[in-house]
Chain A
Amino acid sequence: MKNTFFISNFFLLIFSLNLFTEDFLIKNAKIFTGTDQGLIKNSDIHIKDGMIQEIKNEIDISNIKVIDLNGKLITSGFISPLTQLGLVEIGLESRTRNDSSDVYSAGFSIASSFNPKSTLIPYNLTGGITLSLSSPSSGGLFSGLSSAFYLSGKLKNSLLKKDIALIASIRSGEGSKAASFLLLEDFLTYAQDRNAEKDLSIIPLSQEDGNISIRDLRAIKRVVDKEIPLVVRVDKSSDILTILDLAKRKDIELIIAGASEGWMIANELADSGVPVILTPIDNIPSSFDSLGSRLDNASILHKAGVKLIISSHETHNAYLSRQGAGIAVSYGLPWEEAIKALTINISESFNLDEIGAIKSGYKADLVVWDGDPLEVTSFVERVFISGKEVPVENRSMRLRDRYLDN
């Protein structure tokens, strides 16, 4: 038994050395496209220069490398929104964390401290995540700016797109939430002022409201100019309505995250066209702001017409967004919508072009599965990032192998 295990590992190694790059064909795949085509069986994908060229029932190209999937499912690589992948190693050890700042608020870009060699990266890649929207987690109204990173583990070229969204939170327990709403509105108002950058003192904020630097102001201005979306973490139904109204008045692109009580205002959310980031696994009324927390939130919001994004509840197991998606399906969300909520809905909401679907002209970020990706018993078999195969191996597997030998 152990021997066969070793032999299979050995073959894996050979495979990974012989990385498929440039030009190859994936044959006999069951493809979840993430497009109107939905799920298509027995089809082939031609990949060249890191991009998907063509998807067809039968593609024949002579003298090309072929990977036969024998009917296995292939999807776009899953995307992890709003986690601290690459920014944190051990939760309780502050010296392993690069996800917060006391110096900057809105302008805090985490991009320069992303660590492609973090153990969390190959671990979550083995869970099916290929792209992380790594985000700061500082307290206060603004946490800072998210950036999109590939989980290829490469020291160079892991960054896909820098500073793609501004993250804010409406929290209870820090005085009245009304002050947070007012502060947010003030920031959005003054960032529009042409003179603000020349003279920060024209912004009538006290020190307690938060230090504002030119860098912070510029980040907020990008939201005002509709270059990037504002993500607001908020749970309570009444607070969500307040934010929806503010976003409308200020004409900004908004994404709501959390939304435990979103189902109570599903129609308003749908009418606003604002996407919602959910962690469907969490139905605990853990505060008075999330008393309405329930497992069919995702399903109710989808039925109303809200674009859903599914997130994990924490960073180390960011890939468990899959389990949350499965739970949402068991409470009524269609399976196809759940996969979209892990892929194309995220790339679209965060303006990441040509990512998140298996479609001609899209990046070849692909995962081959040994079963239904939403099942807790399924595993990732192979991963491709920008058309290059990445080994499915992590530190945890190395530890396991050492002690399996005993």
Chain B
Amino acid sequence: MKKKLFLYSFFIFSLSPFFINAKEDIPFQSTYNPQKSSSVLIQQGRLLTATEEDSFIGDILISNNVIVEVGKSINPPLGTKVIDARGKWVTPGIIDIHSHMGVYPAPSLNSSSDGNESTSPTTAHVWAEHSVWTQDPQMPLALKGGITTYHVLPGSANLIGGRGITLKNVWSRTVQGMKFPNAPYTLKMACGENPKRVYGGRRMEPSTRMGNVAGYRKAWIKAETYLSKQQQYESKSEEAKQMGYKPTRDLEMETLAGVLKGEILIQNHCYRGEEMAVMLDLAKEFKYKVTTFHHAIEAYKVADILAENNVCAAIWADWWGFKHEAFDMVWENAAIIHNANGEKGCAIIHSDDPVGIQRLNQEAAKAMAAGNRVGLNISEGDAIKWITLNAAIGLGIDKWTGSLEKGKMADVVIWDGNPFSVYTKTEKVFIDGILKYSSEDISLPKPTDFELGIINPEENRL
């Protein structure tokens, strides 16, 4: 019986559209494969879809892990569970494009502080996913804040810090079991103070911002050479391939070449306006694309340049002053980025912080209110994008998530009120149509292993 059930469910799993694995020979593939979700109709909530400008009262039908329909009024098919969402707000699952959950977990311990391979300024060969501790208690806290997807980056000690990874906010014994299926890899780069402080402090290069830029250029020149050798080899006939030597694999160069081929997305920690402009010139020199500038405190100074280059800016609503490159913060940053070149800008609110990740909605609210106070006309529909669709665009996963649209993954949050209020909390969080948090169910979110009996043996932490 059990075996039959297993086979049956296996069959269903393999039918799910998003969770088909790629080629067998690629290591560390996603094994995330949610069970098939039942039909749920979220009825008459106020919807912020992240595609429409204004909110409206409507229904969402989810089934088989996807959003089946979004509309003013949907007739539930037979057997559909109906959730009365009158008076509630419904948004896409919140996405944090900048997190260190798992690589800088709580409690902060030497043993698991695994976010910065700060032993060399360029470490494109390291991958953040190999540091992730899956039982970080910060993850379920973020889930209660509506986070359904988050992007884990290496730290910013290095010029090129390594690959980032996009995860679904689900409990799993393995990192592979959390990996967002088919999400592109990313590469962390860092401008400014951090790399020069870390290595300058050891009296080695880089110790200046000019040293930083020289470091990036050296790495990309090497990567160009590596890629062209690879491409030369690949273009040979099978016969010629057998006669010649196959170029040696180089982990560092594989990642950099992946960027040059457009397969790996650059996530560039960069605070100052002039440094962002330099990084965009660098990208032109080596023909790669910067997807998103992170911690872009001064993006408002170069918002038009970012919009022209089709680059997103991920920012905090109000962090500032912890270092000099964070000194020129303005509350209106997101609104100015958004409005650049006739609303062509791409603003993202990120957390970089286990406290902030629990309430990106409030951070977006602050930035929206600040923009409106100076007449920049930011709607709630705009502000919700800053923590959903735009973050998905920045991660290259907007085909699958980031908005309430037919056919997308059923990553949905039901809020007990307007999400742009300090008093509002999440009521239900669905990931791929499966209820992962409910304010009415004390068994959710599922506690991490760490939380079992950690204070009182017979209880969970919270």
Contacts and interface: CB of A to CB of B under 8 A. Distances in A.
A89 B324 CA distance: 9
B327 A377 contact: no
B360 to A, nearest CB: 12
Given A287-B107, A291-B454, A404-B332, A377 B420 contact: yes
Contact of B330 (A287, A378, A400): A400
Contact of B106 (A120, A285, A320): A285
A313 interface: yes
The interface centre, meaning the residue of A284, A326, A327, A329 with most chain B CB atoms within 10 A of its CB, is A284
A282 B328 contact: no
Nearest to A288: B107
A403 to B, nearest CB: 5
A284 B425 CA distance: 17
Interface residues of B, number: 48
Interface string B279-301: 00000000000000000000011
B206 interface: no
Contacts of A377: 365-366, 368-369, 420-421
Nearest to B329: A396
Interface stretch (B56-64, B176-184, B313-321): B313-321
The interface centre, meaning the residue of A317, A400, A406 with most chain B CB atoms within 10 A of its CB, is A400
B185 to A, nearest CB: 28
Given A285-B106, A403-B300, A317 B320 contact: yes
Nearest to B193: A92
A294 interface: yes
Interface in B360-407: 362, 365-366, 368-369, 373-375
B363 to A, nearest CB: 8
A281 interface: yes
A379 B321 CA distance: 21
A92 B349 CA distance: 24
A193 interface: no
B331 interface: yes
A180 interface: no
A376 B361 CA distance: 10
Contact of B336 (A329, A330, A404): A404
A205 interface: no
B261 interface: no
Interface string A329-351: 11000000000000000000000
Contacts of A327: 359, 422
B461 interface: yes
B338 to A, nearest CB: 13
A270 B421 CA distance: 31
A19 interface: no
B300 A400 contact: yes
A392 to B, nearest CB: 12
Contact of B422 (A119, A285, A376, A404): A376
B432 interface: no
A283 B355 contact: yes
Interface string A215-245: 0000000000000000000000000000000
B455 A403 contact: no
B462 interface: yes
Interface in A277-312: 281-288, 290-292, 294
A286 B106 contact: yes
A286 B422 contact: no
Given A283-B355, A376-B369, A91 B323 contact: yes
B304 A406 contact: yes
A149 B45 CA distance: 48
A400 B376 CA distance: 12
The interface centre, meaning the residue of A291, A327, A379 with most chain B CB atoms within 10 A of its CB, is A291
B424 to A, nearest CB: 7
Contacts of B425: 330
B108 interface: yes
B138 interface: yes
A267 B318 CA distance: 37
B319 A317 contact: yes
A93 interface: yes
B104 to A, nearest CB: 10
Contact of A284 (B106, B323, B332): B106
A326 B331 CA distance: 19
Contacts of A330: 422-425
A201 B106 CA distance: 44
Given A93-B323, A327-B359, 18 more contacts: A90-B323, A90-B327, A92-B324, A283-B141, A284-B141, A285-B106, A290-B107, A291-B107, A315-B321, A323-B422, A329-B422, A329-B423, A330-B422, A376-B420, A376-B422, A396-B328, A403-B336, A404-B374
9 contacts: A89-B321, A93-B324, A281-B355, A284-B355, A317-B320, A376-B365, A379-B369, A396-B328, A403-B336
Interface of B: 106-108, 137-138, 141, 193, 197, 300-301, 303-304, 318-324, 327-332, 336, 354-355, 358-359, 362, 365-366, 368-369, 373-375, 420-425, 454-455, 461-462
